[in-house]
Amino acid sequence: MSRRALILYAHPEPRSFCAALRDVACAALAEAGYAVGVSDLYAQRFKAVLEPEDYGVLSAQQAAGEAAPFNVTLAQRRAVKEGSLAPDIARELEKLLACDLLVLVFPLWWFGMPAILKGWFDRVLLSGTVYGRSALFENGKLRGKKALVATTTGGPAEFYGAHSLNGDLLDILMPLHRGVLAFTGMTVLPPYVATHVPYAGEAARTRMLEEFAAHLRRLDELTPLPMPRVADHLHQMGHLLKAKAE
């Protein structure tokens, strides 16, 4: 059975450079034998804001004080059991759970990802289904999947580095790499970052697209980024480990 890749693409402009990166990823991964799916979050008008209705908790009940206070993690777990997940979340979750490789393509905005992509993680990465209690990092429920970030910057390469104005790109991407992808168990591959994209000129941008294709052709040989392991922090986790990992 062929491996599956899911590309999460977050850019409001269909002719963006990020769209070109997405297309390179589709072609390179298909060539490598992946069945490739794309979630184009702007085209889907993906809702970025997590709300009670996403998990079958009705706002009218909330407003009337008839519902228990909205507890996101408990509501997520209940919605999975009762089948009351919002249809868009259920669809994205199904695609996520089915993929072997998750590729994120987005422009770097304010040292982070666009809100629509952050909202995808907020709403789709459900407690109990992708993480829980001690089911974190190497025990996370998405273990076995690989993840790769492809992002673009306006700042030139010289702005990025340990002693540069904006700091190291791996530090900037840490909340996503470590706090989302590794936290839920995924193996995090080195990112591809295209810098100075709007100002680099056509020839340089074409080169970047070729570099990205080459990065993807080496996918199986890339050394994953080092990430923490629960096993090395057991002394900090006693209370969690007493409870059975869910």
Alpha helices in the chain (DSSP H): 17-31, 59-63, 72-82, 87-98, 115-124, 169-172, 174-176, 202-217, 238-242
Q: How far is the CB of 196 from ligand FAD (least distance, A)?
A: 8
Check residue 198 for interaction with ligand FAD (CB under 6 A): yes
Q: Give kind and range of the element (H or E) at residue 182.
A: none
Q: How far is the CB of 215 from ligand FAD (least distance, A)?
A: 16
Residue (of 98, 185, 99) closest to 143 by Cα position:
185
Output 41 or 99, the one with its CB closest to ligand FAD. Answer: 41
Check residue 145 for interaction with ligand FAD (CB under 6 A): no
Check residue 109 for interaction with ligand FAD (CB under 6 A): yes
Site string for ligand FAD, 1-20 (x = CB under 6 A): ----------x-x-xxxx-x
Task: List Cα–Cα distances, 42 to 146, 152, 161, in angstroms.
Answer: 24, 17, 31
3-state secondary structure of 21: helix
Output 96 or 150, the one with its CB closest to ligand FAD. Answer: 150
Check residue 155 for interaction with ligand FAD (CB under 6 A): yes
Output 10 or 188, the one with its CB closest to ligand FAD. Answer: 10
Is-contact 119 48, C-beta < 8 A? Answer: yes
Is-contact 132 175, C-beta < 8 A? Answer: no
Q: Which residues bind ligand FAD (CB under 6 A)?
A: 11, 13, 15-18, 20, 107-111, 152-155, 197-198, 202, 205-206
